[in-house]
Structures are given as structure tokens and as C-alpha cells.
Structure 1
Amino acid sequence: MSDALARSAKAGSSAPPKPSPKPNAVVAVLALAGIVVSLMQTLVIPIVPELPKYLHASSSDTIWAVTATLLAASVATPVVGRLGDMFGKRRMLLVSIVLLVAGSVVCALSDSLIPMIAGRTLQGLAAAVVPLGISIMRDILPKERLTSSIALMGASLGVGGALGLPIAAFVADRFNWHILFWTSAALGVVAFALILTIVPESAVRAGGRFDLIGALGLSTALISLLLAVSKGSDWGWTSTTTLGLFATAALVLLAWGAYELRTAEPLVDLRTLARRQVLLTNLASVAFGFSMFAMSLVLPQLLQLPQATGYGLGKSMLTVGLVLAPQGLVMMAMAPVSAAISKTKGPKVTLMIGAVIVAAGYSLNIVLMSQVWHLILVSCIIGAGIGFAYGAMPALIMGAVPATETAAANSLNTLMRSIGTSFASALAGVILAQMTTNFGTAALPSENGFKVVMAMGAGAAVLALVVAAFIPRHRPVAATAPAAAGSAEPDRSAEVTEVPEVTGAKS
């Protein structure tokens, strides 16, 4: 008997008891955190034209309040994801929310450029909240709730972005602009308290040593690339600065890749990243990121341009927000539909359906762009397609990586979408700057210019469809995968989706 008790005590000490979370509460809190982060990214949009007056700086300088967030997010997303796998996803989620609150307070107290840029940088460091939340769901939720919860978490990005724009426009139009950031800080505090109270920590840990050299190398390459892409139109695409940044990004990425392949505990496991399912899903994510932003760039301009142009609708920023708001609700409504299709047909099919819907929406937009209801219809169709895709991509990623790498893998997938968004912004900006029409003393983007950008959005969605078609076919899993090494939790990759017939999900 004493031997049995000793063995029982030993087993209990090596494997902490599993948390017993309330699934509905956990999903609601994590989705709220995702909405808060996406709200943060949207809040500044209505005041961008007024920032030079608010901050007593030039327009070329105040745009750094947007660029700084993009650069910080590109650095934080893969790094925080890896730290989450190593030291606890909930822990890093709480750290991210703290950075969001700190950045919001700094912005709320700002009346000059430097503090505003510092605050927006801190806010950008919270960008890993959604991939961390998805990874937490994989570790602690019952498998029957997982697919629908992941789809809902992915949709939270669209919901926060769509609802944030009209709210921010209304507040900025009627109150002091600092209230926007105080609101962001307050929402962050609420999200922090709820996560601390309701969301348990996952027992799945990778452990090991953090790859500081890999983190610095990847950060340098990403900052160089995104800085060149986002500022190339201002500096000149053939300028020494722009070309130098592109060259730096290419050289550092090559050196970083060689280092990551040699190191025992890399920041990014490139061999896992090269698996067919992971690689093709990430490539499709770049195309979807490109396609999604094309709509965000075109529709607000069409709504705000003067009616005298013949194609502008002459509406306010508040109206723009109200027109785009239904898109976020459609994305939320599509989450259970996306999950149902992924369960029955697999997330690959869901991703392909999303690509077809997005391409159809852009194609329709080319011929329907003269009435407000036209743009509401188009934005809802495109939002439905994005809702399908955002629910499918994390499932595809997690179905091909070990449980100890889910946060890093999801974070990289999020980063791929951001890279696609940055390239869409740059390319669409060039097209709209070149294809103009004279309106008084000003040169405005022409109607044909907008149609070309919409055609690009449709083309990017078709490209995502083609890439997704080559993702390996799947077969149902008969049994749960074995436990990850050194983990108290089983490897749940098979519970998210299905295992590839050919490639498998080897660790």
C-alpha cells in the first residue's frame, strides 16, 4: 500500500492537475481581448488627418504614429508567440495587455509627436493577443468546442476593426481626441482582469532557451522590409534609402535562415515552417492579407470623395464607419458556419470557399460602386469570405505543428497576413497616385484607379484559392496523437483538424 501511495504521490507531483475552465467564459474573454486589440488598431484612423494639428508636427512626421504600430507588431508577434510556447501563453497574453494599456495611457497624455509614437509603439507590441488566444484555446478547451471557438477568435479581429471605426469617428467628432485612448486603456484593464480571473494557464510548454540572436535577426529583417514597403512611396522606390532597406532585409533574412537551421533551439523552426500544409497556408495568408486591405483602402475613399467627381459619394468619416460596421457582424455570424464546414469537409475546403467569396465580392464591386448600399453589400460579402478564411487558417496551422509550437506558428501566420496588408497598401498607393483625375486644383484617384485596385483584390483572392488547392488532402484521425515530450497535456493537433495523408504532422 505504501508503494502504491508513493507512486501516486510521484505521479501527482510530475503532472499538475488539468484546469477545469468554463468553455463559454474562456472563449468570450479571449474574443473580447481580440476585439480590444483590433479596436486599438482602428481608433487612430479617424484622427490621422488631424494629427499634425493635434501634435504640432508635419504630416510626414505624424504618419509615424501609424507606421510605428506596424513595425512594433511585426517584431512582437513572432517573438511573443515563441515566448508564449516557452513560458506560458496566458502569461504572455497578460503581458501583451499590459503593454496595450501602457501605450494607451501614454497616447492619452500626449500632446506632441514623440510621446505619441512611443505610445503607439507600445500598443503595437500587443499584436500577438489573437494568436496567443487561439493557442490557449487549443490547449484547454474540449475538442468539440475547438473549431467553432477558433473561428470566433479569428472573427474578433474583423469585429473590433469594423465597430471601432464608427465609434472612433463619433468620439473624435464630438469629444476631445484623448478620450479615444483613455477608452482603449479602460477596455484593456477590463480584458486583463477577466483573463486573470477566468482564463487558466496551459500546461503545454516547450521550455528551453530563448533564441535572442534569432529574435534580433528576424526583427531587423522585418523592420527593414516593412519600413521600405510602407515608406517607399514617400522616399522614392528607387532612392538609396529604400533600396538599401530592401537589400538589408534580404541579406539579413538569408543569414538568419542559415543560423536558425543550425541552432538547437531556434526562434522559428524552419523545418516545421517548410511543411507543405504550413507553408501553403502561410502563402495563402499573405494573399488574403493583401486582398483584405484593398477593400479597407478603396471603400472609405469612394465614400468620402466629393460627389462632383461623378463616382465619389461625399460622405463623412462617421458614415464610412457605419457603412463598414456590418462587415464585422457578418464575420462574426460566419464563424459557426466556417466551423461547421471545417468539421465536415476540413479547413482546406473552408479556406477555398472563403477565397471564392472574397473574389466574387471584389468582382461585384467593380460594377457596383455608385450607391451607399452597393458598398455595404460588397463589404459584407468580402467580410463573409474573410470570416471563412480566418477561421480556417489557424486550424490548418495547428493541424501540422506540435502542441509546443502552436503560439509561435499562429503568430507567424498572423505576421504573414500583416506582410500581405503592407504590400497591398504600398502597391495600391502607387496605383492610385498614378491613375488620377483633375478636380479643381487637386489630383484625385480616378474611378479606373479604384477599379484596378479592386481587380487586384480579386486577383489576390484567386491566388489564395490556387495556393489553398495544393494544401494536402486529409483523412480523419482514428486516435489522439501522443503526448508532447515534457508536457502534461496531450498533443492536440489532431483535435483541431485532420492529419495530412502524405506529409503528416511530425515533430
Structure 2
Amino acid sequence: MPTRGASVGAITFSLVGFLFLVELTSGILQGFYVPLIPDLVDHLGIKDGDFNWFEAAQLLLSAIVVPIFAKLGDMFGHKRMLLITTALTAGATWWLATTTTFTTFLLAWALQAFYVVWLPLEVALIFDRGRRTGRGASQTRRSAGFLVVALEVGAIVGALGASRVLAAFGGDIMLTLFVPAVVVSLVFFAILFGVPESEPLPGRRLDGIGFLLLSVGLVVIMVGLGWIRLDSSAAGVLATVGLIVIGLGVLVGFGVWELRHPDPAIDLRVMRQPTMWPVLVTAGLFGISVLGAQAPLATYAGTDPSVGYGLGLDTDARSNLIGVYLVSMIVGALAFAAVSRRLAPRFSLILATAFVALGYLLFLPFHLETWQVVANMAIAGIGSGALVAALPAAAAAAAPRGQTGVASGMTNTTKTIGGAFASAIFGVVLVTGASEVAGTVAPLAGYLTVWAICGGGALVAMVLLFFVPKLAFADVEPETPAEPGTAAELSSAA
């Protein structure tokens, strides 16, 4: 048995090394295009506001593909799905580099969203390798922290490198866009030759109707949230509410179907367990700040202080501010595994949400000086980095065998939905009253509302995590090899 455990541990170390490269690539993709947005706008011959369509399309597709490919990973192998989504991402990234029209760029940008599946699949792979040692939960937490470090380092490298690559190529945007395409293509081979496959349970089947209902419900809700960003009039609000109600109705039908299905797309009985539902709700509330609050922060930092608030920072200074936030996320991701070894994993999650809440609530009294904003973002970033690593790892530890991928993926899906809701709401509150201040400058009350919602959401998540059993997400006794269970047994496993 020791030899077996050592072998599994050695494989896990090797596995994390190759997956580090995957998340480094994911970070590069997320950071590389941001400094190039003005150049991409000129390249495509569009308006600045049109770029929001790219973000909306990618969010929409990511909300759909994560649970589907996570489930397919549980069924057919997580490495296999990691290879497929990497190939799709590479194809979309090459397409981005060669297209010159708004429509084709929009399609390619949306298809690039397949990279969001990588982290849930990686967490499932790591947990699968460590499950039989009895240290799967702690190994997954520690490894997820390193993966988040890779993600944030990649984002920094991408953001800092994009403008330099553009300058090196003499301002040729097409040649510049070839760089991330090459990087994604290379990481495909790192996965192919360096990552071992997980052990899926045989006898599973894909719940096509369930995924169809889930996809339709999510699409309708996301379209509704996007609609209000286009039309914030009374008619637009009514249309948004109507679409959201219809989408929720479809999701109710999805829930009824899933509870009757022998091998559901998403086992709601597992998702409603006390070790799981607070984690999923926390992920949704966390999405409010980690996905929805970054654009308001950038606009506030660039607002001229002559209106009575704002920092008046130029582009380089705003980049440095974002850099502080990313570095603090790295610190939080590394600290989480160390803290959870000394404290209960559940308490570590609670502590992380407390950091996020404190960071954003401090904005309410302290927001007029640059050092105050930097301090607030550093505090929130530490908690955010811990949560990015902790949430999928906690979901994987709470899921029965055969459902680690979909459980980890659901934290990403709920986070995306939370971010979409926040983006829509923040867009409205920052526009309302703008003309009363100065032209298109957002009102201070709007920013205060954004920070209050982010901090309040984190406080609610912190309270909900107290409902999780005290010993949740801790290591369990090593598993002995067993015959694969039936779908019904999987659904009832704790």
C-alpha cells in the first residue's frame, strides 16, 4: 500500500506541473487582449461600446459549456475533455487572429470561452488522482492554490506582454494575435503527453434533455441580463424581467426533470446537501465582485477628482492598480492551503469571504485617496484569490465519485451567473444620474452602491458557510478499489 500511495502522490506532483502550464495559458488569454482593446476596435472598424458584445457572448457560452463538458469529463475522462476544449480554444484563437469583421470576431471570441472549462476539469483530475490516498481533499486544495497562482501570473504576463509584442511587430495586430494562438496550441501537447487520464465510471449516459433545458434556461436569463444594458428604459426593464422569469421557469422544469432522471445531467440531490449548496451560493455571490466589480473600479480610478471623487489615474497607473489586485490574489491562493492545514477547511472559506467583505465595505468610508483604494483592493484580492482556489476544490471534496467534475464546474457556472447579474445591475446604477454630475461620469452614489452590493454579498456568503458541517471538505480514509456503482448509487452517495 505505501508503494501505491507514493505512486499516486508522485503522479499528482507531475500532474500539477503540467496543469500549471494550462492555467498559465488561461491567464495569458485573459490578460493579453485587454491592453489591445483600442487597437482591436480600430482593426475591426467598430465603436468602443461594441466591444461589450464580445464579453457578453463569451459569458453566455461559458455558462452553458462548463456543466456540459464537466459532466462529459465525469463520464468519459477529464483529460479527454481537457484536450477537446483546448483544441476548440486553439481553433477559436487562431480564428481571432485572422478575422477582420465584427460578426466573425464575435463568433471566434465567444468560442474562445471553452478555456473556462479548464480549471474545473483540472480540479477533478487532481482530486481523482489523490482520492485513493485519503488525502484527496487537502492535496486538491494545495494544488488548486498553485493553479490559481499560475492563472494570475499568466494574466500579468499577458497584460504586460501584449503591448510589447504589438510594438515588436510594428503595430501589426494580426501578427500580435498569433502569439496567444501559438501558446494555446503548444499547451495542447503538454496535456496530451504529460497529463494522465482520470478513472471515469462506466455505464453512464448523457442526459440530453436535461442539458437542453439547462442551456435554454441559462441562455434566456443571460439574454435578459444583457438586454437591460442595451435598454434601461421602463420597457427595457420590463423585457428583462420577463426574460428572467421565463428563464427561471425553464430551470424549474429542468429541476423537475432531473429529480426523475436515473442519471441526471446535474444531480440536484447532491447539490442540495449541506456540504454543497452553501458553496454553490457562495460562488454565485462571489461572482458579483470578482466578475462584476472590476470595470467600475477601472472607471472610478480614471475619473477626474475635480467632480468631487475619483483618482484621476492614467492608463499606466490603472494597470498598476489592477496589478496590485492580481498579486494579492496570488497571495490569497497560496495562503489558503497553508491556512486550511491549520484550521478547518470550512473556517478557511469563511475567513476568505470575510476578507472580500471587508475589502469592499472599506470603500464606503475610504475611497478618496489612491492608497485607500489600493489597500481595499489588496484586502479583497487576498480573499478573492483564496476563493478562486477553494470553491472548486471544496465542491470536488463534497461530491461523490463520478460527479467531481460537474460539482466543480457548477461553482464556475454559478459564479458566471452572479457576475452577469452584477454587471447588468451595476451598469444601470452607474448610468442613473450620470448627467447630473458631468457628462457621462458615473455618480458617486452609483459607485457606493456597487461596493455595498459586493461587500454585502460576501457577508451573506460568510453567514451561509456557517451552515456547512464543521468537518466538511476534510480528508477521509483511503478508498479501496470497488466495483463501479450504478447511477442510483452515485446519486445517493454522500
1:65 aligned to 54, 69, 91, which one? 54
Residue 425 of structure 1 deviates from its aligned partner by 0.9
Residue 79 of structure 1 deviates from its aligned partner by 0.3
In structure 2, do the counterparts of structure 1 residues 322 and 168 end up closer, same or farther at CA, with 3 Å as the change threshold? farther
- Secondary structure of 1:191's counterpart equals helix
Letter in 1 for 2:204: G
- 30-39 or 219-228, which deviates more: 30-39
Residue 159 of structure 1 deviates from its aligned partner by 4.2
In structure 2, do the counterparts of structure 1 residues 296 and 159 end up closer, same or farther at CA, with 3 Å as the change threshold? farther
Task: Indicate the residue corresponding to 1:194 in structure 2.
Answer: 190
Task: Indicate the residue corresponding to 1:456 in structure 2.
Answer: 453
In structure 2, do the counterparts of structure 1 residues 484 and 395 end up closer, same or farther at CA, with 3 Å as the change threshold? farther
2:146 is the counterpart of 1:149: no
Contact 1:280 1:467 in 2 (8 A): yes
Task: Indicate the residue corresponding to 1:101 in structure 2.
Answer: 90
In structure 2, do the counterparts of structure 1 residues 228 and 181 end up closer, same or farther at CA, with 3 Å as the change threshold? farther
- Secondary structure of 1:472's counterpart equals coil
- Secondary structure of 2:441's counterpart equals strand
Residue 82 of structure 1 deviates from its aligned partner by 0.4
Task: Indicate the residue corresponding to 2:122 in structure 1.
Answer: 133
Contact 1:81 1:411 in 2 (8 A): yes
In structure 2, do the counterparts of structure 1 residues 166 and 98 end up closer, same or farther at CA, with 3 Å as the change threshold? same
TM-score (norm 1): 0.85
1:340 aligned to 338, 341, 346, which one? 338
Contact 1:48 1:63 in 2 (8 A): no
Residue 483 of structure 1 deviates from its aligned partner by 4.4
Letter in 2 for 1:445: A
- 101-110 or 231-240, which deviates more: 231-240
In structure 2, do the counterparts of structure 1 residues 172 and 227 end up closer, same or farther at CA, with 3 Å as the change threshold? farther
Task: Indicate the residue corresponding to 2:329 in structure 1.
Answer: 331
Task: Indicate the residue corresponding to 2:471 in structure 1.
Answer: 474
Contact 1:163 1:321 in 2 (8 A): no
Contact 1:286 1:417 in 2 (8 A): yes
Residue 294 of structure 1 deviates from its aligned partner by 4.6
Residue 334 of structure 1 deviates from its aligned partner by 2.8
- 134-143 or 87-96, which deviates more: 134-143
**Inter-partner Cα distance in structure 2 for 1:245 and 1:343:** 45
In structure 2, do the counterparts of structure 1 residues 505 and 260 end up closer, same or farther at CA, with 3 Å as the change threshold? closer
Identity within the alignment, %: 25
Unaligned stretches of 5+ in structure 1?
Answer: 1-17, 494-503
TM-score (norm 2): 0.87
Task: Indicate the residue corresponding to 1:273 in structure 2.
Answer: 271
Residue 267 of structure 1 deviates from its aligned partner by 1.0
2:112 is the counterpart of 1:123: yes
Contact 1:76 1:125 in 2 (8 A): yes
**Inter-partner Cα distance in structure 2 for 1:403 and 1:318:** 48
In structure 2, do the counterparts of structure 1 residues 470 and 172 end up closer, same or farther at CA, with 3 Å as the change threshold? farther
Unaligned stretches of 5+ in structure 2?
Answer: 1-6
**Inter-partner Cα distance in structure 1 for 2:142 and 2:331:** 11
Contact 1:162 1:327 in 2 (8 A): no
- 166-175 or 111-120, which deviates more: 166-175
Task: Indicate the residue corresponding to 1:421 in structure 2.
Answer: 419
- 71-80 or 241-250, which deviates more: 241-250
**Inter-partner Cα distance in structure 2 for 1:346 and 1:176:** 52
Contact 1:403 1:484 in 2 (8 A): no
What are the superposed Cα offsets for residues 129-168 of structure 1, whole Å, 9 maximum, x if unpaired?
0000111111124636433102222454444445544444
**Inter-partner Cα distance in structure 1 for 2:480 and 2:178:** 47
2:102 aligned to 102, 106, 113, which one? 113
Q: How does 1:228-239 map to 2 (within 5 A)?
A: 228-236=224-232, 238-239=235-236
In structure 2, do the counterparts of structure 1 residues 155 and 57 end up closer, same or farther at CA, with 3 Å as the change threshold? same
- 193-202 or 175-184, which deviates more: 175-184
What are the superposed Cα offsets for residues 212-236 of structure 1, whole Å, 9 maximum, x if unpaired?
2212111111111112113323134
What are the superposed Cα offsets for residues 329-383 of structure 1, whole Å, 9 maximum, x if unpaired?
3322333321122233222111110111111111223333334433332222111
2:372 aligned to 358, 374, 380, which one? 374
2:384 aligned to 365, 383, 386, which one? 386
2:221 is the counterpart of 1:225: yes
- 354-363 or 87-96, which deviates more: 354-363
What are the superposed Cα offsets for residues 188-212 of structure 1, whole Å, 9 maximum, x if unpaired?
1222121122111112335422122
Residue 117 of structure 1 deviates from its aligned partner by 1.1
Contact 1:43 1:180 in 2 (8 A): no
Root-mean-square deviation (CA, aligned residues, Å) is: 2.9
Residue 180 of structure 1 deviates from its aligned partner by 5.0
Task: Indicate the residue corresponding to 2:359 in structure 1.
Answer: 361
Task: Indicate the residue corresponding to 2:254 in structure 1.
Answer: 256
**Inter-partner Cα distance in structure 2 for 1:394 and 1:331:** 16
In structure 2, do the counterparts of structure 1 residues 427 and 35 end up closer, same or farther at CA, with 3 Å as the change threshold? farther
Contact 2:92 2:111 in 1 (8 A): yes
- 309-318 or 451-460, which deviates more: 309-318
Task: Indicate the residue corresponding to 2:301 in structure 1.
Answer: 303
- Secondary structure of 1:443's counterpart equals coil
Task: Indicate the residue corresponding to 2:3 in structure 1.
Answer: none
What are the superposed Cα offsets for residues 222-259 of structure 1, whole Å, 9 maximum, x if unpaired?
11111211332313464364344223312211221111
Contact 1:21 1:200 in 2 (8 A): no
Contact 2:67 2:410 in 1 (8 A): yes
**Inter-partner Cα distance in structure 2 for 1:270 and 1:56:** 46
Residue 469 of structure 1 deviates from its aligned partner by 1.2
Residue 465 of structure 1 deviates from its aligned partner by 0.6
Task: Indicate the residue corresponding to 1:506 in structure 2.
Answer: 493
What are the superposed Cα offsets for residues 43-70 of structure 1, whole Å, 9 maximum, x if unpaired?
4434445655432345565432221111
- Secondary structure of 1:187's counterpart equals helix
2:433 is the counterpart of 1:408: no
In structure 2, do the counterparts of structure 1 residues 447 and 165 end up closer, same or farther at CA, with 3 Å as the change threshold? farther
In structure 2, do the counterparts of structure 1 residues 227 and 108 end up closer, same or farther at CA, with 3 Å as the change threshold? same
Residue 280 of structure 1 deviates from its aligned partner by 1.0
